[in-house]
Amino acid sequence: MAITYAVLLFLIFYSFQPTLSLYEDQVGLTDWHQQYIGKVKQAVFHTHKTGRKRVVVSTEDNVIATLDLRHGEIFWRHVLGHNDVVDGIDIALGKYVITLSSEGRILRAWNLPDGQMVWESSLHGPKHSKSLLLMTNVIIEKDNVVVIFSNGRLHAVSCIDGEVLWNKDFEAESLEVQKVIQPPGSNFVYVVGFAASSQFEMYQINATNGELLKHESEAFSGRFSGEVSLVSSETLVALDSTGLILLRISFHEGKISIQQTPISDLVEDSPGPAVIIPSSIMGLFTIKINAVTIFIRVIGKGKLEVVEKANHETAVGDALSLSEGQQAFALVQHAGRDIHLTVKLAHDWGGDLLKESIKMDQQRGLVHKVFINNYVRTDGSYGFRALIVMEDHSLLLLQQGTIVWSREDGLASIIDVTTSELPVERAGVSVAKVELNLFEWLKGHMLKLKGTLMLATPEDIAAIQYMRLKSSEKSKMTRDHNGFRKLLIALTRAGKLFALHTGDGRIVWSRLLQSLHKSEACQHPIGLNLSPWQVPHHHALDENPSVLVVGRCGPSSDALGILSFIDSYTGKELSSSRLVHSVAQVIPLPYTDSTEQRLHLLIDADKHAHLYPETPEAISIFRREFSNIYWYSVEDENGIIKGYALKSKCNGNVDDKFCFDARELWSIVLPSESEKIIATVTRKMNEAVHTQAKLIAADQDVMYKYVSRNLLFVATVAPKASGEIGSVTPEESWLVVYLIDTVTGCVLHRMTHHGSQGPVEAVFSENWVVYHYFNLRAHRYEMSVIEIYDQSRADNKDVWKLVVGKHNLTSPISSYSRSEVVTKSQSYFFTHSLKAIAVTSTAKGITSKQLLMGTIGDQVLALDKRFLDPRRSVNPTQAEREEGIIPLTDSLPIIPQSYITHNIRVEGLRGIITVAAKLESTTLVFAHGLDLFFTHFAPSRTYDSLTEDFSCALLLITIVALVAAIFVTWLLSQRKELQDKWR
Amino acid sequence: MAPIARLLLLVLLSTALTISSGSGDGYTINGRVKIPQGLGTKGFALPGKMSNIKVILNGGQIVTYLRPDGYFSFQNIPAGTHLVEVAAIGYFFSPVRVDVSARNPGKVQAALTENRKGLSELVLEPLRDEQYYEIREPFSIMNVVKSPMGLMMGFMLLVVFIMPKLVENMDPEEMKRAQEEMRNQGVPSLASLLPGGGRN
């Protein structure tokens, strides 16, 4: 029997497959990846040719992409550098996408079908200016020409190879070029602009050789304001600087005439100045006075006529040329829950080509942009499709009165992420779509078994893969035992909250926060921070959890704050408030009230602390902990770090009992001529540390980790070296790192890396900090580790002291006790630049840790913390080897199998978030940038659960077969015995 | 016509893999990424498309893409020591240090930072290809034998064929005693098969 036992045991152990790395067919089991492009700012349709219809877009996140017009999928996508902002895009020769970027300095052509870059040209000019891209139909030596105005110079570039054919400087000091226009059918271009804001300048230039044909200018008594609208190829409409007078500027045949029309003549009760909405629609332009959009028509010789005043929110698209020289343009207006899409002819306001009403999700907000494209229907009439960009950055295609597809591109700009548990599964509430019965279950396992024995047919394999990927288990809307199913709640730049299911990444709910909506009182609301507000446990389990969104009314830190409370399960905005103070810092306190609402302290710009929730109970809890609350602030521009504690109630307003004054406890002033703060990192608030003691096996010794929540890691560099790599020599750059106790302001450790510079990416966990920086001498990236140990507890290792009770292990850890710490440090080379760094976190902190590094190639690499152990030496002793010390190497290894993103790029990676699952071995990893990526990660393999590969059916069948065999052999032996007896 | 001539010169130079002085405010780094044929085509890892290869200067200061022939260039680079990285799925590229000298423009000073190998011209090749997945062992009879099921079967076969042989060689008296014992015990129950039952 012992053998059977051993075999069973062996069987169970054998089935622990290494899961650190992935087999290719396991992709998609626990991970998901979503691709986004960001808020679209320009779109060009490509639908002329037969074949796949597509739209080329450029976005505010410097992305150029082509999307499938049928489904909205990405054909190809390129993410340009963070300062390579796209100025304009167009399609040339029907096969190239031309992009102008970097303030008009870089012109690139991409192959339309596959996104391969064809050529790249660098354009230079004498001065900074507006960048304009104009696709001409001029042909020089069988070569189409694109005309670019940038940096005060007009360039003509060949579409085929990007060669600059000619260029012309516009040297005049104050000239601000507004438009480059090519009248249809001509081979010259007009370059028009304002000089010194009060003179209109017109240059007529031969597009084939850059020769100046004509130059005219006309002075204007007032001043011009920025934008212009083109109403014909030789007429512009502008506003004067007061915004009260419309200027119609005509430069027909080189003769400039400026005609002034006060807006009050056109619109009777015009309150306040107008702004022009730049467009180029023949004979029509749009102005906006406050919230009212006014369409004005230009008739014949300088007569202006108001055709419509729209009080609703309106978006106007650019003109689209129809075949007969007619122009159409689109108009989107909001009316309650619906939007009205109208396509009108430019010369005929009354005749609508298209009028559709579409029901729109209220959570998408207003329409910001509209782009239209036409197609010819079977009956010869025009059909239109419209691409609209919404307030929440989503992109929708409308055709024939319905939404054909939509993309949630708001998710490309996540500001902050938190997680929430799902509801507990209760009796009577079946959430899973299909509960599997036993037969189905067994059938599934049989299929799997076939798969493992390599007997499966291709159809079977497909069925297995489908079954694994579409497991209803992982996308249920209830909590699971392992804690894998959670809601990821993400706040985006557009002020929208999304809840994503960790199982399959689908959007459970989304909500455009009304409190972060632009309004009179709050012009530029931005979201700052997202934190769990109420996490119900035992007695409050009936209540839904909620999250707190903190925002403010503008980019500066003294703008007034906004609070909003959102139900995590439904996305309903429970309440919101506009604060009377600013928000500089949000500090979640480790205390909750009786309804399990977490106490939060909001620090304003004047260093007052405001307590939330504003309840008497919160105050009473707060009073008990009054002397235990400390915080710090980092002023990186002045190089000052300050520590604060609470003093008393606010002096100024007597009635506000939730406001407290702060007293400054300490401050560290760094010398501004030699040090500039570039990075600060603290430990995660909710990190679990399993043990404080670390056993050093080599000399049978115990070291005590200095585990303190109040440690701050600060990295500073020489001010000269704060720029890019290559701007300084090693001699004039240094990197200084500090470990500071934020309660006392005591510097526990300081270290200088000479000849090094930033950027610094750092992560703090338990008693160690790992940071990444650039070593200029070796010209390689380096990673260093600092581990900090508590020496004051070092004499506790005597067993007798423990027995007798003469130890100080139970004495509370206080920042004010004399700190005797020792630090150990070591540095290693690392190959790649990093964009982000994080560390795995598990439920109890028992599992060993791995570092997760977002590399410059937008991949996430896992690296065992043991590689960053300061005790690594060239020749570790036998005891050290047994303990798991790796022999010292000068650089950290990059093992391709430990890329947790395998062959996926998380484009534009900005942050990596780790959340502990209930299963101790597993961490949930969420990486976000333009793309989103989520996976389960087991730093020391899944030692506490059977792997997905484990075949229960095989085990069961084996057991059944064994039992059957035993029974059969027993029967046989019985019979044989009987026969023996008869004999 | 002077600027045109200069630009033409620039176009010519860009094919010659050099660092050339651009139009006044900086230098140009030209180079080429070359992926040897045959690398990355084996195994499961799909080689990244050429069009998705990014070339990154100084950890993200400038990002550029490759032309169809693998050439790339960075314009307007100040003199100094720079770092060029290549991000390509499926390949491991070493970062390259590139020295742009103000004194003698046109001179290439490039070295791989991983192995400090100097480059006479800026042609970047992957050091190795990257396999992101574990490779499943193909089906083999040894694997089946070595698997727990195989071992179990082996053990059972052992019992079936070797045990009778052992029994044959047994002392007849001892055999009798064993049979006696067996009769007393009766049918082996399932409980006695299980580990818990096996112990008592």
What are the backbone angles phi and psi of residue A744, rounded to the nearest 5°? -100, -15
Q: Are A787 and A771 in contact (CB under 8 A)?
A: no
Number of alpha carbons in the 13 Å side-chain half-sphere of residue A423:
16
Which residue is it, tokens 């804690």?
Answer: A483
Mean pLDDT of A805-812: 58
Nearest by CB to B195, which of A8, A776, A778? A8
Nearest CA to A659 out of A611, A598, A616, A601 is that of: A611
ipTM: 0.83
- State residue A516's pLDDT score: 82
On average, the pLDDT of chain A sits at 84
CA distance B195 to B185: 18
**Which pair of tokens denotes residue A921?**
């071995």
Residue A568 pLDDT exceeds 50: yes
Residue A761 scores a pLDDT above 90: yes
CB half-sphere exposure, A886, CA atoms < 13 A: 12
The alpha carbon torsion through B61, B62, B65, B70 (nearest 10 deg) reads: -100
User: Which pLDDT tens digit goes with each residue over A666-699?
Assistant: 999 999 888 999 999 998 888 888 777 776 655 6
Report d(CA A886, CA A875) in Å as an integer.
9
Contacts for B89 with CB less than 8 Å, ≥ 6 apart: A857, A859, A903, A905, B47, B48, B52
Average pLDDT over residues B137-153: 73
Amino acid at A678: I
- % of chain A residues with pLDDT over 90: 27
Compute the count of residue pairs across chains A and B with CB atoms less than 8 Å apart: 188
Q: Tell me the pLDDT tens digit for each residue of A779-802.
A: 899 999 999 988 776 665 555 565
Q: How far apart are the first and last CA of chain A?
A: 33
| CA-to-CA separations, B21 to A118, A167, A727, A740, B18, in angstroms, rounded | 23, 20, 17, 47, 10
In this prediction, what percent of chain A has a pLDDT beyond 70? 90
* Interface list for A 953-982 with B (CB within 8 A): 954, 958, 962-963, 965-966, 970, 977
Q: How far apart are CA A809 and CA A806, in angstroms?
A: 9
Set of chain B residues whose Cβ sits within 8 Å of the Cβ of A726: 58, 78, 80-83, 100
Q: Which pLDDT band holds residue A218 (cuts at 50, 70, 90)?
A: confident
- d(Cα A437, Cα A463) in Å, to the nearest integer? 18
Whether the CB of B186 is below 8 Å from some CB of chain A: the reply is no
Greater pLDDT, A951 or A975 = A975
Q: Say yes or no for a CB contact (<8 Å) between A164 and B7.
A: yes
Chain A residues inside the 8 Å CB shell of B61: 81, 83, 724-725
Residue A719 has what DSSP assignment?
G
Nearest alpha carbon to residue A130 among A191, A189, A81: A191
In the DSSP assignment, the letter for residue A891 is B
Distance between CA A352 and CA A330 in Å, rounded? 10
Measure CB to CB from residue A4 to each of B46, B87, B198 and give the nearest one: B198
Q: What share of chain A is helix, strand, coil (3-state, %, to 5)?
A: 15, 45, 40
Q: What angle do CA A912, A917, A922 make, to 5 degrees?
A: 80
Residues 101-160 in B contacting A (C-alpha not used; CB under 8 Å): 113-114, 130-136, 139, 144, 147-149, 151-152, 155-156
What CA–CA distance (Å, rounded) separates A490 from A502?
12
Pairwise CB contact (< 8 Å): B78 & A726 = yes
Mean pLDDT along residues A839-847? 90
Using CA coordinates, name the residue in chain B closest to A7: B152
User: What is the rounded CA–CA span in Å between residue A888 and residue A446?
Assistant: 48
In our burial notation (b when 16+ CB lie closer than 10 A, e otherwise), range A307-327 reads eeebeebbbbbbbbeeeeebb
Q: Which of A2, A25, A725 sits opposite B198 (nearest CB)?
A: A2
What's the rounded Cα separation, in Å, for the pair A198 and A187? 29
CA atoms of A314 and A527, how far apart (whole Å): 25
Question: Tokens in use for A760?
Answer: 């610094």
Of A155-164, A257-266, A447-456, B130-139, the one with minimum mean pLDDT is A447-456
Q: Please enumerate in sequence order all residues whose Cβ is within 8 A of that of A727, keeping only pairs 6 or more positions apart, or say none.
A: A720, A721, B78, B80
Rounded Cα distance between A166 and A350, Å, is 45
Rounded CA separation A166/A182 (Å): 17
What secondary structure letter does DSSP report for A20? S
| Tokens describing residue A122 | 């660098």
Give the residue, A8 or A425, on which the prediction is more confident: A425
What dihedral do alpha carbons A255, A261, A266, A267 form, nearest 10°? 130
What spatial distance separates the first Cα and last Cα of chain B, rounded to whole Å?
Answer: 103
- Return the pLDDT at A11: 40
Beta strands in A766-808 (DSSP E): 768-775, 780-790
CA B5 – CA B13 distance, rounded (Å): 12
A955 interaction partners in chain B (CB closer than 8 Å): none
pLDDT average, residue stretch A410-429? 82
Q: What is the pLDDT of residues A627-672, one digit of tens each?
A: 888 999 998 888 899 999 988 887 766 567 888 888 899 999 999 8
Determine the length of chain B.
Answer: 200
Interface of A with B in 86-115 (CB under 8 A): 105-106, 108, 111, 114-115
Alpha-carbon distance of A645 to A663, in angstroms, equals 5
Calculate Rg over the CA atoms of chain B: 35
Tokens of residue A195, six digits: 């000089």
Higher pLDDT residue, A18 or A317?
A317
Average the pLDDT over each of A24-28, A544-548, B16-20 and give the range with the smallest value.
B16-20
Which H or E run includes B86? strand B80-87
d(CA A388, CA A371): 6
Please give the pLDDT value at position A772: 94
Whether A74 and A84 have beta carbons less than 8 Å apart is answered as no
**Confidence bin at B198 (pLDDT 50/70/90):** very low
**Can you say whether the dihedral through the CA atoms of B168, B170, B175, B179 is positive or negative?**
negative
The amino acid that residue A610 corresponds to is: H
- pLDDT tens sequence across A327-374: 888 888 888 888 899 888 887 887 788 888 999 888 888 899 999 988
Compute the nearest-CA separation of B199 from chain A (Å): 8
pTM reported for the whole predicted model: 0.86
Contact A394, A406 (CB under 8 A): yes
> Is residue A234 predicted with pLDDT exceeding 80?
yes
Of B44, B68, B113, the CB nearest to A24: B44
- Reading the block at residue A916, the tokens are 């502990």
Query: Helix, strand, or coil here: B193?
Result: helix
pLDDT at A974 over 90: yes
pLDDT tens for each residue of A27-66 = 778 889 999 999 999 999 987 766 678 899 999 999 999 9
A53 contacts A46 by C-beta, under 8 angstroms? yes
Q: Give the pLDDT score at A1.
A: 39
**What's the pLDDT band for A840 if we cut at 50, 70, 90?**
very high
Q: How far is B169 from chain A (nearest CA, A)?
A: 19
Q: Which of A230, A321, A307 is nearest to A266 (CA)?
A: A307
Q: Which of A13-27, A69-83, A388-402 has the lowest mean pLDDT?
A: A13-27
Confidence of residue A810 (pLDDT cuts 50, 70, 90): low
Report the pLDDT value the prediction gives residue A540, as an integer from 0 to 100. 55
Token pair listed for A192: 């028009």
- B66 φ, ψ (degrees, to nearest 5): -95, 145
Please name the member of A1, A7, A22 whose beta carbon is closest to the beta carbon of B192: A1
| Closest residue by Cα to residue A71 from A410, A510, A407, A364 | A407
Model confidence at A3: pLDDT above 50: no
**Concatenated DSSP letters of A202-218:** EEEEETTT--EEEEEEE
Q: Could you say which DSSP state residue A545 is in?
A: P
- Residue A285 and residue A297: Cα distance in Å, rounded? 7
What are A712-730's pLDDT values in tens digits? 999 999 988 888 887 788 8
- Contact list in B for residue A948 (CB cut-off 8 A) is none
Hey, are the CB atoms on A23 and B197 less than 8 Å from each other?
Answer: no
Q: CB of A842 within 8 A of CB of A939?
A: yes
Judging by DSSP bridges, how do beta strands A338-345 and A327-335 pair with one another? antiparallel
* CA atoms of A605 and A633, how far apart (whole Å): 11
Q: Does B161 touch chain A (CB under 8 A)?
A: no
**Residue B4 pLDDT > 70:** no
* Chain A partners within 8 Å of B52 (Cβ): 78, 115, 905
- pLDDT at residue A571 tops 80: yes
pLDDT digits (tens, 9 = 90+) for A475-505: 788 888 888 889 999 999 998 999 999 988 8
